[in-house]
Amino acid sequence: MTEVAFHLNVGDRTVYLCRLLRKAYLKGSRVYVLGGASSIDPLDRALWLMAQGEFVPHARSGSAEHVRRRSPIVLGEHEPEWGPVDVLVNLSDQALCGVGVVPRIIEVVGSEPGGREKGRERWRLYRQAGVEPTAHDLSGSVA
């Protein structure tokens, strides 16, 4: 069964995601990040600009197949072709993407009212599908 974790009240999503993806990369996880251009483009830029020694190898879903296959982190605006993915990080408004296919889904929810309401709706959809999500409230965190 897929494990779903909601990371709630994330302040600066791009900074948070860079740290999260670096941690996943260092653990050897293969990650697909799903989101719209407004989320993926700044994340892609930030990953390229990380400090020396902290670079996180990644590719866009539109990259050549041999590049995507070798990249531990893939950023995309559309549901992936499910290859070897350990974690799906969902920045989109979609719910249930990857349930039963990916071992772990991380939903990243900011503190803005619109984002919180969409996060609550995704939470309800997971529960209706028989998945009991866990919550990690980051409101006391720096980023």
Please say if the pLDDT value at position 143 is more than 70. Answer: no
| Top-tier CATH class for 3-137 | alpha beta
Predicted confidence at residue 139, as pLDDT, reads: 82
Q: How far apart are CA 24 and CA 12, in angstroms?
A: 18
Please say if the pLDDT value at position 91 is more than 80. Answer: yes
Predicted confidence at residue 140, as pLDDT, reads: 66
Q: Which residues of 47-82 are buried (b: 16+ CB within 10 A; e: fewer)?
A: beeeeeeeebebbebebeeeebeebbbbbbbeebee
- Give the pLDDT mean for 8-13: 90
**In 3D, which of 55, 13, 42 has the Cα closest to residue 141?**
13
Best-predicted range by mean pLDDT among 18-27, 77-86, 90-99?
18-27
Q: How far apart are CA 58 and CA 17, in angstroms?
A: 13
Handedness of CA 16, 107, 27, 140 (dihedral sign): positive
Predicted confidence at residue 29, as pLDDT, reads: 96
26 membership: H or E segment, kind and range: helix 13-26
Average pLDDT score over the chain = 91
Residue 94 pLDDT level (bands cut at 50, 70, 90)? confident
Q: How far apart are CA 102 and CA 85, in angstroms?
A: 6
Give pLDDT tens digits for 51-86: 888 989 999 999 999 999 999 999 999 988 777 899
Q: What is the CB neighbour count within 10 angstroms for residue 135?
A: 14
Beta strands in 48-95 (DSSP E): 58-60, 73-76, 87-90
Please say if the pLDDT value at position 38 is more than 80. Answer: yes
> pTM here?
0.92
84 membership: H or E segment, kind and range: none
Give pLDDT tens digits for 102-136: 999 999 998 887 888 999 999 999 999 999 999 99
